[in-house]
């Protein structure tokens, strides 16, 4: 896998733990994982810490995932970073909006290693 | 206000519970047809999720201690004694969050947007009793009973 530094953004510590575990099981064993509990903290983290991949929830306090994604897609230094959305808020309309905003993959909660591999187009 | 289809609501909830508990907590859950299989004294924790739109109401999970323990230990992969209260609560709230999403998606269909609030620990069950009960379903998680209650104010 080419993603060496992964930022996980989710307000639930349990969810961040599950996401990290699933990515490791999906083959991201060498990756270094960083965590932020909302979009605001993630934006702040990204100012000084470049990453190769962002994995974010949508529903978070302080700054939700939609606002966070819009912000990083406007920043020159972060706009090219692939964003994976992991959320329980699923709808075709919402998915379409997110893809138009530049989201790379959308995975519906609960996440699993198989869903990550399927989303990335990797055969198990 | 749209009419509430209790049968469809019940089927959506049962399916969501079975899938969410299996996928997140590795627990096989089946509906328990024996009503009141869980005494009030056995309930150790109640957590609730406000449903905001287009379904306006609440989804409540009533858990005995053994059920909490099984869920949390399975998700964390660590013994109960090693986990903090914050880790336990966060874990249960995340489960309810995912369950709520799956429930509404099953009921409304994938083409319909919905909005839910943040799940929370309920300390005062009087608050629940004052709401309009819509569904009360009992489940069995590998021998451990638990209950789910849905209160509904409206389907917009």
Q: Which residues of A touch B68 (CB under 8 A)?
A: none
End-to-end CA distance of chain B: 5
Nearest to B112 among A91, A109, A110 (CB): A91
> Does residue B136 register a pLDDT over 80?
yes
Examine the pLDDT at A67 and tell me if it is beyond 80.
Answer: yes
Peptide bond into B54 cis (omega under 30): yes
Structural domain contains residue A18? yes
DSSP string, chain B: -PPP-HHHHHHHHHHHHHHHHHHHH---EEE--STT-S-GGGEEEEEEEEEEESEEEEEEEEEEHHHHHHHHHHHHTS-GGGS-HHHHHHHHHHHHHHHHHHHHHHHH-TTS--EE---EEE--THHHHTS-EEEEEEEEETTEEEEEEEEEEEE-
Assembly ipTM: 0.75
Check A90 against B110: CB less than 8 A apart.
Answer: yes
* pLDDT (mean) for A79-103: 84
For residue A48, what are the domain limits? 5-119
Structure tokens at B123: 């300390």
Tens-place pLDDT, residues A39-55: 999 999 999 999 999 99
What Å distances lie between residue B130 and B58, B127, B133, CA to CA? 12, 6, 9
Is A124 within the bounds of a domain?
A: no
Q: Select from B90, B94, B101 the Cβ nearest to the Cβ of A89.
A: B101
Provide the CATH number for the domain around residue A55: 3.40.50.2300
Dig out the tokens for B80 from the structure.
């109960």
Which residues on chain B are in Cβ contact (under 8 Å) with A90?
A: 101, 105, 110
A55 occurs within a structural domain: yes
Flag whether pLDDT at A23 surpasses 70. Answer: yes
Name the nearest CA neighbour of A41 among A19, A17, A18, A72.
A72
Contacts of B59 in chain A (CB under 8 A): none
Rounded to whole angstroms, what are the CA distances from B10 to A31, A57, B107, B145? Answer: 42, 28, 9, 18
- Predicted TM-score (pTM) above 0.90: no
Q: A35 in a domain, yes or no?
A: yes
Supply the DSSP symbol for A28.
-
Which spans in A11-51 are helix H?
A: 13-25, 39-48
CA distance between the termini of chain A: 13
- Does residue A63 fall inside a structural domain? yes
Q: Which residue has the higher pLDDT, A86 or B128?
A: A86
Judged by a CB distance cut-off of 8 A, whether residue A122 touches chain B is no
What's the pLDDT tens digit per position in B2-20?
667 889 999 999 999 999 9
Q: What are the C-alpha distances in Å from B14 to residues B19, B69, B147, B149?
A: 9, 21, 11, 12
Q: How many domains does chain A have?
A: 1
Among B131, B135, B139, CA closest to B149: B135
What are the tokens at B113?
Answer: 């947007």
Question: Can you give the C-alpha Rg of chain B in angstroms?
Answer: 15
Residue A40 lies in a domain: yes
Say yes or no for a CB contact (<8 Å) between A91 and B91.
no
């Amino acid at each position: 896998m080419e993603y060496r530094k992964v930022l996980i953004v989710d307000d639930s510590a349990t969810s961040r733990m599950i996401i990290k575990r699933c990515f490791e099981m999906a083959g991201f064993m060498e990756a270094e994982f960083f965590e932020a509990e909302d979009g605001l903290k993630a934006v702040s983290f990204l100012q000084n810490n470049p990453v190769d991949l962002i994995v974010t929830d949508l529903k978070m306090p302080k700054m939700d995932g939609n606002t966070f994604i819009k912000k990083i897609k406007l920043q020159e230094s972060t706009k090219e970073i692939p964003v994976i959305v992991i959320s329980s808020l699923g709808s075709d309309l919402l998915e379409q909006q997110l893809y138009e905003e530049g989201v790379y993959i959308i995975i519906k909660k609960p996440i699993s290693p198989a869903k990550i591999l399927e989303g990335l187009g990797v055969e198990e | 206000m749209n009419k509430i289809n209790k049968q469809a609501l019940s089927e959506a909830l049962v399916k969501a519970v079975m899938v969410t508990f299996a996928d997140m907590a590795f627990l096989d859950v089946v509906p328990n047809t024996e009503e009141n299989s869980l005494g009030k004294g056995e309930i150790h924790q109640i957590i609730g999720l406000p449903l905001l739109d287009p379904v306006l109401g609440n989804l409540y999970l009533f858990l005995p201690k053994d059920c909490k323990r099984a869920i949390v230990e399975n998700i964390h992969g660590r013994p109960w004694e090693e986990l903090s209260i914050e880790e336990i609560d966060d874990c249960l709230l995340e489960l309810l969050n995912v369950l709520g999403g799956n429930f509404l998606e099953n009921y409304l269909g994938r083409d319909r947007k919905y909005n839910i609030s943040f799940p929370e620990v309920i300390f005062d069950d009087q608050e629940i009793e004052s709401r309009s009960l819509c569904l009360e379903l009992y489940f069995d998680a590998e021998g451990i009973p638990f209950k789910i209650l849905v209160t509904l104010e409206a389907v917009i």
